[in-house]
Amino acid sequence: MVTREVFKVEMINFSMLAPHPPGVILEVDGIKIGLDSKGDFNFISHAHFDHLISSLSITTSEPTLELVKVRTGKEFQNEKISGIKTKMFDAGHVLGSKQLWIENSKTYLYSGDINLNGSLIEKPAEVPKADMLIVEATYGRREYVFPPREEEYEKIGKWAEKILEKGEIGIVGAYELGKAQEVIAAINKYASVAPLVTEKISEINKIYEKNGKYLDFISPNTDESEALVKGPFIAVAPMNFIKWDMLKMLEKGYKRKVRGAKATGWNLFLRSSWYEPFILSDHSGFDGLLEYVERTEAKKVYVVHGFKDEFAHELRKRGIDAHVL
């Protein structure tokens, strides 16, 4: 049976979400599979807003389905892809993140966002073999090689301990899903502290715990949180909390020094005098992406998102048939 490969770029409009990056539709044997996009079946790799679509019928992991419902307030249905053989493999990115593997006359693999290194919470991504690979390239430039995660975890722990010793307040900005939980786990392990979190992060943490990933944290609007904020404390909040004006406003409210930090891979080349930069990404860096592609043994590679032109160029230099979508 002949397999026809059809790719097209689609911009998703979902009013309650951030702008969606171009999605991909893979057509195999007449079945259109939306890869973080809309098709006959809509595969969603994970529950970050920039990978969600407007359809309420999706193919995904059960933890992702739970997270999507919590994050959007909408009821989604998990629909099995029928008509062709598919399998999901762990992506190592955030709770429930998956890659999609498809078998017909050829084998196809869509990575979504991946992390080969794993973390305090997630195991490293699995690497199945495939004839054709569609891979993201968020950090697809050779400059983006990250320091060992344990080093950053230790820095977070020491920073938190120092803040508390000084009688101050420390707030780490992190993406609500994935990064926030990793930062909480680092604070738990390396500072032996349960940080205060926002309501939405608390809701997401409970999904993590439901799936066997325990975190020690303090939810807002509780007796415990009211007692905590009377003295020095550590908090984990969304990234947009870490703004100069916001920190100064909090200092006036709490009547003590408030120090900010940000945990993101982009800190590799971003520095500031008013917040502490922790270089922590839930994506693979350049070296991890290269290793991932090579281990899949894919004969043809399509690169999407991020530094896709640069990464495809690097793959071609290594003799890999790579193309940009």
Summarize pLDDT for 43-57 with one digit per residue, the tens. 999 999 888 888 889
261 part of a folded domain: yes
292-313: burial string, b at 16+ Cβ within 10 Å, e else: bbeebebebbbbbbbbbebbbe
- What per-residue confidence (pLDDT) applies to 200? 96
Cβ–Cβ under 8 Å, residues 190 and 255: no
Same-domain check for residues 98 and 164: no
Summarize pLDDT for 60-81 with one digit per residue, the tens. 999 999 999 999 988 889 999 9
Q: Domain count for the chain, please give it.
A: 2
- Nearest-5° angle of CA 192, CA 175, CA 118? 65
32 part of a folded domain: yes
Summarize pLDDT for 126-160 with one digit per residue, the tens. 999 999 999 999 999 999 999 999 999 999 999 99
In this structure, what CATH number is given to the domain that contains residue 155? 3.40.50.12650
Same-domain check for residues 106 and 43: yes
Q: Quote the pTM value.
A: 0.90
Same-domain check for residues 15 and 105: yes
CB atoms inside a 10 Å sphere around CB 252: 8
Nearest to 45 by CA among 176, 177, 146: 177
Average pLDDT of the chain, as a whole number: 91
101 part of a folded domain: yes
Same-domain check for residues 215 and 293: no
169 part of a folded domain: yes
Same-domain check for residues 101 and 138: yes
Residue 18's alpha-carbon distances to 46, 50, 66, 72, 240, in angstroms, are 15, 6, 20, 12, 14
- What per-residue confidence (pLDDT) applies to 14? 27
Same-domain check for residues 135 and 86: yes
Summarize pLDDT for 210-257 with one digit per residue, the tens. 999 999 999 999 999 999 999 999 999 999 999 999 999 999 999 999
Separation between Cα atoms, residue 40 and residue 299, nearest integer Å = 26
In this prediction, residues 155-180 reach a mean pLDDT of: 98
On the CB side of 143, how many CA atoms lie within 13 Å of its CA? Answer: 8
Same-domain check for residues 235 and 265: yes
Separation between Cα atoms, residue 141 and residue 123, nearest integer Å = 24
Range of the domain at 34: 9-144+283-324
2 part of a folded domain: no
Separation between Cα atoms, residue 99 and residue 4, nearest integer Å = 21
Residue 130's alpha-carbon distances to 3, 48, 176, 197, 298, in angstroms, are 15, 25, 33, 41, 5
Same-domain check for residues 114 and 18: yes
Separation between Cα atoms, residue 256 and residue 259, nearest integer Å = 10
> What residues form DSSP beta bridges with 276?
261
Strand 107-110 with 98-103, pairing = antiparallel
Same-domain check for residues 44 and 124: yes
Cβ–Cβ under 8 Å, residues 284 and 144: no
Same-domain check for residues 206 and 289: no
In this structure, what CATH number is given to the domain that contains residue 108? 3.60.15.10
Cβ–Cβ under 8 Å, residues 309 and 324: yes
49 part of a folded domain: yes
pLDDT at 3 over 50: no
45 part of a folded domain: yes
Same-domain check for residues 287 and 272: no
Same-domain check for residues 27 and 139: yes
- What per-residue confidence (pLDDT) applies to 264? 96
pLDDT at 103 over 90: yes
- What per-residue confidence (pLDDT) applies to 7? 34
4 part of a folded domain: no
